[in-house]
Amino acid sequence: MKRAPINSQSIRALGYDPRARLLEVEFVNGSVYCYEQVPARLVENLLNAESPGGYFNRIFKPCGFPYRQLN
């Protein structure tokens, strides 16, 4: 999946496949995680958040989306 850079202190880039509802998150430390069953509206909110890292921590972590580390 192709990832696009975003303006965040903790997230380097995001990639999203709306058909599969998969979100790839590349963090500034180099780790990459793939989250499953992610609705497109949450990805849009993440991209539009004033602080994407803060939004991710507040919304994505508590939601408990299934995920796996890719590297």
24-42, pLDDT tens digit by residue? 999 999 999 999 999 999 9
Mean residue pLDDT of the chain comes to: 95
pTM of the entire predicted model: 0.93
Q: pLDDT tens-digit profile of 5-26?
A: 999 999 999 999 999 999 999 9
Residue 63 has pLDDT above 90, yes or no: no
The closest of 23, 19, 26, 18 to 34, measured between CA atoms, is 23
The three-point CA angle 16-20-22 to 5° equals 40
51 Cα distance to chain centroid = 13
Q: Which residues 6+ apart lie within 8 Å of 53 measured at CB?
A: 8, 9, 10, 11
